[in-house]
Amino acid sequence: MSPILSRRSFLALSAMLPWAFRAQALSSIPVGLELYSVRDALQKDPQGTVRAVAAMGYQAVEFYAPYFDWTEAQTKEMRKLLDELGMRCYSTHNDQDYLSAKNIEKTRDKNLILGCKYVVLAYSEPKTKNGADGWKHLAEELNTAGEQLEPAGLRVGYHNHQAEFTASGGQRPMEILAKNTKSSVMLQLDVGTCLAARAGPVAWIRANPGRIRSIHCKEWSPAPEKGYKVLLGEGVADWKGIFEAAESVGGIEYYLIEQEGSRFSELEPARRCLQEFRTRHAER
User: Could you give the count of Cα atoms lying within 13 Å of 272 in the half-sphere of its Cβ?
Assistant: 17
CB 52 within 8 A of CB 5: yes
Q: For every one of its 284 residues, what pLDDT tens digit does the chain have, with 9 covering 90 and above? A: 444 555 444 444 444 444 344 344 345 999 999 999 999 999 999 999 999 999 999 999 999 999 999 999 999 999 999 999 999 999 999 999 999 999 999 999 999 999 999 999 999 976 555 789 999 999 999 999 999 999 999 999 999 999 999 998 789 999 999 999 999 999 999 999 999 999 999 999 999 999 999 999 999 999 999 999 999 999 999 999 999 999 999 999 999 999 999 999 999 999 999 999 999 999 88
Q: Which of 174, 281, 267, 185 is nearest to 237 (CA)?
A: 281
* Predicted local confidence at residue 146, as pLDDT: 98
Report the relative pairing of strands 88-94 and 31-34 from DSSP bridges.
unpaired
Q: Give dist(CA 139, CA 42) in Å, integer.
A: 32
Q: Which of 84, 85, 80, 79 is nearest to 63 (CA)?
A: 79
Q: Give dist(CA 102, CA 88) in Å, integer.
A: 27
* Predicted local confidence at residue 11, as pLDDT: 44
Give the angle 103-107-111 at the CA atoms, nearest 5°: 175
Q: Which of 281, 248, 268, 236 is nearest to 56 (CA)?
A: 268
Annotate 87-110 with DSSP letters as a single string: -EEEEEEE-GGGGSTTTHHHHHHH
* Predicted local confidence at residue 42, as pLDDT: 98
> Is residue 230 classed as helix, strand or coil in its secondary structure?
coil
> Phi, psi (5° rounding) for residue 62?
-125, 115
* Predicted local confidence at residue 169, as pLDDT: 79
CB 115 within 8 A of CB 89: yes
User: Could you give the count of Cα atoms lying within 13 Å of 30 in the half-sphere of its Cβ?
Assistant: 19
